[in-house]
Structure 1
């Protein structure tokens, strides 16, 4: 079976870190071309540092990390230290990474890599604000038909918002970027809060990770346990949603998820509903479907898959 060629665009972030670890543990299925970083959960210097820290945890300093956009296309940056801490990785041991940042801007790397590869062979996986992806599509419209698929974590419809009553964080931070990506014509898969809130950490699920006979399994359990504290306070529920790890699980085993091809539009004009993803679930608008919008997940299957990936790491 040929491996998926993936560029993972990220803003680590606790759940991002767990997702990156799982992705690095799936090297038999995924050819990770690079991590590209964006400002989101914390500012760009920290997301770029944190991505390299995670690579070093996994013993993969060979994975190139490219820093991207330090602010949204048109708006001031909104961050999420309340969920991820001031470092983005609060609650777990961090260090100053030895591996360097690459010299090129992430957007230029994305454009050049897509242009150089056979069309339809590279999947983009953004799990933070969509600024890098939107800017690449805007600077180089010719790359859109070259992308195999964009699999993204973002949006919410049935579950409500987690940064405002109407909006999910990644889309809220840069709604103009999300609108560009959703209007690009590229095949899209969306993993919104509607599905990620179904895949929650729990004591037995974290215990399975903590029992792995390596360093990264217990580390991932600690990461998710720290992420969980915010969500228990916010939602009154036990277990943190596995937002970004769900993207990795979908890449590796799409059959764990189900949803519907629908039209999704992003609200950019309203102060009240900035970043809301308007999902035409029943096809009443007449607008063509532009995304596979996932709403159901096999949570136990997702955690079993993540555990299998983490078990392959040091």
Structure 2
């Protein structure tokens, strides 16, 4: 049976690769229910433009493949259209930070300027604007929409679409893959925690445990970009969620109910594992050159933004140039896990589930994954003691995070990704 997933994302270069990986799956492997968009790498309006451009290019690619006698591919996309919903424009409480220094201001290295023929006209914008059509919710409920679209546009906020998808599917049948800041997830969980907990598991790309951060010495971008949201989602893994909730000022972020029906299962893919999955400039060049020569629209589009990212990596990492430049495939790894989670070579850390908490208030440590490195015995109680501030040793408090550490594709994933997307 096909695995059902929601992909919460902020496209972004590796996010687009993650989306292409999901959409290129076979229908029996995967059903992509929802693409929920958040700010993160870039402003959310640019994330939407990038996703719509992706569908535009895929329409052209599948037509090119038909015309040249090649298999169309992208079976998941042809079998069912995902809903696309626009979500959070800014973090819950933290100052907004973007990663456009790496991805470019449009998220794809300026592609909408350099390759305008691959960007659709802006006529699609009204499809996502609730002010244009107050009855717009019906388009999601009925699946109606322009016949030439490969997606179903939603006029609802992304967090409400997440809740809708979870209500409409049986508990433990939908995996939520989150590869950007966790703002949409936190809003959904705050509005209706019991519906949110119908999810089978949440797969999170974020954080750094033993590796340095990538935006501060201790902060990974997604955890840093909305530390409060990450901390609130992590708290749902606890037997006592309010024991690890961060202090907040917002009235839309109340404490969770004292009694919830279950704990959240959260699989964390921090930099410690994602940095071990890479695509080299040489691998990409060898794969894409014959496709460019043959006239593939998808190859032209992907080559344009990948050229930008490999040039950026050369500037950031002197000595790693040309074919030796390495792009870490942070977000696609999480999608591949969702596709192949039954593979026993996916393994958590020896100490999992671990009590991992996200720092929200520190001057220099915002977004840090905090773990208890002390060698002390656990305590079967829920009373805070003077030598254990924060209930780190309590068996009845603290988070329960499955930190993923072992991978079946560590050395081969770059080739797997390219083969899936292009062939």
| Fold-level similarity (TM above 0.5) | yes
> Once structures 1 and 2 are overlaid, which stretch shifts more, 45-54 or 278-287?
278-287
- Aligned mate of 2:96, from 69, 77, 91: 77
Q: Which residue of 2 aligns with 1:120?
A: 172
> Once structures 1 and 2 are overlaid, which stretch shifts more, 140-149 or 278-287?
278-287
Q: Answer whether contact 2:206 2:223 (CA < 8 A) is retained.
A: yes
- For the residues of structure 2 that align with 1:232 and 1:291, how far apart are their CA atoms? 35
Q: Which residue of 1 aligns with 2:402?
A: 292
Q: Which residue of 1 aligns with 2:2?
A: 3
| Matched position secondary structure for 1:170 | helix
Measured at CA, do residues 282 and 221 of structure 1 come closer, stay the same or move farther in structure 2, by a change above 3 Å?
A: farther
Residues 1:233 and 2:315 are matched in the alignment: yes
Q: How does 1:78-117 map to 2 (within 5 A)?
A: 78-92=97-111, 93=115, 94-96=118-120, 99=124, 100-101=127-128, 102-117=154-169
Residues 1:31 and 2:118 are matched in the alignment: no
Please report how far the alpha carbon of residue 217 of structure 1 lies from its aligned counterpart in structure 2 after TM superposition: 4.9
Please report how far the alpha carbon of residue 280 of structure 1 lies from its aligned counterpart in structure 2 after TM superposition: 4.8
- For the residues of structure 1 that align with 2:208 and 2:228, how far apart are their CA atoms? 16
Pick the structure with greater CA Rg: 2
Residues 1:216 and 2:298 are matched in the alignment: yes
- For the residues of structure 2 that align with 1:49 and 1:283, how far apart are their CA atoms? 50
Q: Which residue of 2 aligns with 1:249?
A: 336
For residues 259-292 of structure 1, give each alpha carbon's deviation from its aligned partner in whole angstroms, at most 9, with x where no partner exists. 3122211001101100001245788653656222
Please report how far the alpha carbon of residue 63 of structure 1 lies from its aligned counterpart in structure 2 after TM superposition: 2.9
Measured at CA, do residues 279 and 222 of structure 1 come closer, stay the same or move farther in structure 2, by a change above 3 Å?
A: farther
Measured at CA, do residues 283 and 181 of structure 1 come closer, stay the same or move farther in structure 2, by a change above 3 Å?
A: farther
| Matched position secondary structure for 1:58 | helix
- For the residues of structure 1 that align with 2:46 and 2:6, how far apart are their CA atoms? 19
Please report how far the alpha carbon of residue 242 of structure 1 lies from its aligned counterpart in structure 2 after TM superposition: 0.8
More strand by share: 1
- For the residues of structure 2 that align with 1:22 and 1:281, how far apart are their CA atoms? 37
Q: CA RMSD in A?
A: 2.4
| Matched position secondary structure for 1:54 | helix
For residues 83-107 of structure 1, give each alpha carbon's deviation from its aligned partner in whole angstroms, at most 9, with x where no partner exists. 0101111154351366543211111
Residues 1:172 and 2:231 are matched in the alignment: no
> Once structures 1 and 2 are overlaid, which stretch shifts more, 96-105 or 70-79?
96-105
Measured at CA, do residues 294 and 219 of structure 1 come closer, stay the same or move farther in structure 2, by a change above 3 Å?
A: farther
> Once structures 1 and 2 are overlaid, which stretch shifts more, 141-150 or 87-96?
87-96
> Once structures 1 and 2 are overlaid, which stretch shifts more, 241-250 or 292-301?
292-301
Q: How does 1:14-53 map to 2 (within 5 A)?
A: 14-28=13-27, 29-53=29-53
- Aligned mate of 2:82, from 55, 58, 63: 63
- For the residues of structure 1 that align with 2:174 and 2:311, how far apart are their CA atoms? 36
Residues 1:205 and 2:272 are matched in the alignment: no
Please report how far the alpha carbon of residue 240 of structure 1 lies from its aligned counterpart in structure 2 after TM superposition: 1.5
- TM-score (normalizing by structure 1): 0.90
Q: Answer whether contact 2:166 2:199 (CA < 8 A) is retained.
A: yes
> Once structures 1 and 2 are overlaid, which stretch shifts more, 54-63 or 39-48?
54-63
> Once structures 1 and 2 are overlaid, which stretch shifts more, 51-60 or 102-111?
51-60
Please report how far the alpha carbon of residue 82 of structure 1 lies from its aligned counterpart in structure 2 after TM superposition: 0.4
Q: Answer whether contact 2:163 2:196 (CA < 8 A) is retained.
A: no
> Once structures 1 and 2 are overlaid, which stretch shifts more, 254-263 or 237-246?
254-263
Point out where structure 2 has 5 or more consecutive residues left out of the alignment.
Answer: 60-76, 129-153, 238-263, 377-391
For residues 146-184 of structure 1, give each alpha carbon's deviation from its aligned partner in whole angstroms, at most 9, with x where no partner exists. 000101111112221111111000110100000011111
Please report how far the alpha carbon of residue 122 of structure 1 lies from its aligned counterpart in structure 2 after TM superposition: 0.8
- For the residues of structure 2 that align with 1:36 and 1:283, how far apart are their CA atoms? 41
> Once structures 1 and 2 are overlaid, which stretch shifts more, 44-53 or 161-170?
44-53
- For the residues of structure 2 that align with 1:282 and 1:259, how far apart are their CA atoms? 21
